[in-house]
Amino acid sequence: MSSEAVRREIVQYLPRLWRYGLVLSHRRDIADDLVQATCVRALERAAQFTAGSRMDSWLFSILHSVWLNEVRAQLIRRGQGFVDVDELSGAGNSEDPVWSNEVIRRVNRLPEAQRNAVFLVYVEELSYREAAAVLDVPVGTVMSRLATARLTLARDSALQPEAPPRKGERS
């Protein structure tokens, strides 16, 4: 596919790419940078796109790769082996309904691998096979991550706040 053809098609995927960038980075400015880098790389590598395949899956794969490269670069710059996702988190939108904030809060507590699988399959509606290709893992791994995420979210939503221990009881 020519870079001009990719340029014409890519426009319709920008909001979805930005949303995935936000899921990964938790910051609007970083999501913007990720989308820009994804578009540049897609245009540079337009000939690598396989006609008849899903452009959104290809673009998500590129964005995911750009994100991993950015995380690695941060690790090298900081001289650390770990980047805390809380350092990258941005402020939530206060106009969201309370239930939506609660769902997002619970999903954000999932490990990154599970969170990414949940987003790609349930929000972006990629198939398990497509999500596996984006994340560069086997299909079974995506299925396992989703099953674990569903169990965690179900258990989390079933938990009720505990009553404080009564005087004389052990906590």
Q: Which domains does the chain have, with CATH numbers?
A: 1-85 (1.10.1740.10), 95-158 (1.10.10.10)
Report how far apart, in Å, the C-alpha atoms of 28 and of each of 17, 21, 92 are: 12, 8, 10
Check if the beta carbon of residue 32 is closer than 8 Å to that of residue 74: no
Give pLDDT tens digits for 39-76: 999 999 888 888 888 899 899 999 988 888 887 666 65
- Assess contact for 117 and 145: CB atoms under 8 A: yes
pTM here is 0.57
Q: What's the pLDDT score for residue 107? A: 82
Cα 46 to Cα 41: distance, rounded to the nearest angstrom:
8
Question: Both ends of the chain: CA-CA distance in Å?
Answer: 64
Tokens of 68: 């991993």
User: pLDDT band at 27, cuts 50/70/90?
Assistant: confident
Tens digit of each residue's pLDDT (9 = 90 or more) over 128-147: 999 999 899 999 999 999 98
